[in-house]
Amino acid sequence: MTSFRAFLAVTAPLSSLTTASFPTRPNSLPQNRLCKFGVNCRYAEAGIKDDSRSPTIDVVADVKSEKVVVLGGSGFVGSAICKAAVSKGIEVISLSRSGRPTYPGSWVNQVNWISGDVFYANWDEILVGATAVVSTLGGFGSEEQMKRINGEANVTAVNATKDFGIPKFILISVHDYNLPSFLLSSGYFTGKRKAESEVLSKYPNSGVVLRPGIIYGKRRVDGFELPLDLVGEPLERILSATENFTKPLSSLPAFDLLLAPPVSVDDVAYAVINAVKDDDFFGIFTIEQIKEAAAKVKA
């Protein structure tokens, strides 16, 4: 019963929310993201003595220094985001109750792992100097638990982030499946809707809501790796290849359940990196748009 409910929860739509919007550029760059510095260079050619009368070159460069807080960085999606961020030279802090994961990895050593519950977090310690917050908080359980972790936990985080003056909030939500509205009343979806609304209202010009379908990759459970990609990857290829033929069917109630392609955890992670780096990237993003955004930064 629980798993059936969970399945329905993963697949129900969020149709009452604002539809996908491609953004316009926000008014200005947040102050703490841009750091200007000047470099004064002196050179000496081979065989020419540097007698300190050599000409100097003044260079002024714009350098973005990013610092991302990943809420749930120890989880399946969160750890992929931390890893991708580290690979792009972004400073990363993770907050989760379990803190640092036990598996090894050079990227693991480069993340600042903070143990704590989002409801009782010391935000002064976590958010200082951050340029963006990414939330992967969400999950299944009883109705109350799902409302709490998918909804209230994210609302708490959005408000703390906004109050602290952090310029960007990125939420991992879920695909808007075309299911009948009576299936939408689960705590999972009411929670997700609440969280999305909070992000979009508090961050109208920079908030990002990613709506992936089923996410595949290597999920770690109790020290073991579940290779969800063995099924997810070929399924994604087949569904993406046949999308032109099957698209009209997606509008029929419940058909989207079968037809929405899964998305790799790395694509979700790189779409987040794109969101962190690109100030023109905000609003709600579909599965297709997540893949496009990921492709921009993956190379």
Ligand X SMILES: NC(=O)c1ccc[n+]([C@@H]2O[C@H](COP(=O)([O-])OP(=O)(O)OC[C@H]3O[C@@H](n4cnc5c(N)ncnc54)[C@H](OP(=O)(O)O)[C@@H]3O)[C@@H](O)[C@H]2O)c1
Local structure of 298: helix, strand or coil? helix
Instruction: Tell me how far apart the alpha carbons of residues 72 and 135 are, in angstroms, rounded to a whole number.
Output: 7
Q: Which residues face 92 on adjacent strands? A: 68, 111
Encoded tokens for 83: 């890893």
230 by Cβ neighbours in 10 Å (0-12 / 13-18 / 19+) ranks as: exposed
Site residues (CB under 6 A) for ligand X, limited to 13-42: none
Does residue 98 interact with ligand X by CB under 6 A?
A: yes
- The yes or no reply on residue 272 touching ligand X (CB under 6 A) is no
Half-sphere exposure of 8 (CA within 13 A, CB side): 16
Give the containing element (helix H, strand E) for 188. helix 187-202
Cα gap 276→95, rounded to integer Å: 18
Beta carbon nearer to ligand X, 93 or 149: 149
Number of residues that bind ligand X (CB under 6 A): 24
Shortest spacing between CB 297 and ligand X, in angstroms: 19
Regarding 264 and contact with ligand X (CB under 6 A), the answer is no
CA-nearest of 208, 212, 190, 191 to 199 is 208
Question: Based on CB atoms, which residue is closest to ligand X, 72 or 261?
Answer: 72
- When computed from its CA atoms, the radius of gyration of the chain, rounded to whole angstroms, is 22
Nearer to ligand X, 166 or 228 (CB): 228
Stretch that binds ligand X, among 42-50, 54-62, 131-139, 239-247 (CB under 6 A): 131-139
Among 17, 134, 138, 283, binds ligand X (CB under 6 A): 138
Based on the shown chain and the rule CB under 6 A, indicate whether residue 290 belongs to the binding site for ligand X: no
Is position 97 an interface residue for ligand X (rule: CB under 6 A)?
Answer: yes
In terms of residues, how long is the chain? 299
- CB closer to ligand X out of 152 and 279: 152
Nearer to ligand X, 216 or 279 (CB): 216
Q: Which stretch binds ligand X (CB under 6 A): 82-90, 92-100, 176-184, 284-292?
A: 92-100
Least CB distance from residue 90 to ligand X, whole Å? Answer: 18
Which span (25-33, 57-65, 111-119, 197-205) binds ligand X, by CB under 6 A?
A: 111-119
Residue 118 interacts with ligand X (CB under 6 A)?
A: yes
Q: Which burial class, exposed, middle or buried, applies to 219 when counting CB atoms under 10 A from its CB (0-12, 13-18, 19+)?
A: middle
Which of positions 199-258 make contact with ligand X (CB under 6 A)? Answer: 212, 214-215
Q: Is residue 117 a contact residue for ligand X (CB under 6 A)?
A: yes
Is 280 among the residues that bind ligand X (CB under 6 A)? no
Q: Which is closer to ligand X, CB of 90 or CB of 137?
A: 137
**Under rule CB under 6 A, residue 137 binds ligand X:** yes
d(CA 126, CA 92): 11
Three-state SS annotation for 85-113? HHHCCCEEEEEECCCCCCCCCCCHHHEEE
CA 191 – CA 139 distance, rounded (Å) = 10
Residues that bind ligand X (CB under 6 A): 72, 74-78, 95-98, 117-119, 136-139, 149, 153, 172, 174, 212, 214-215
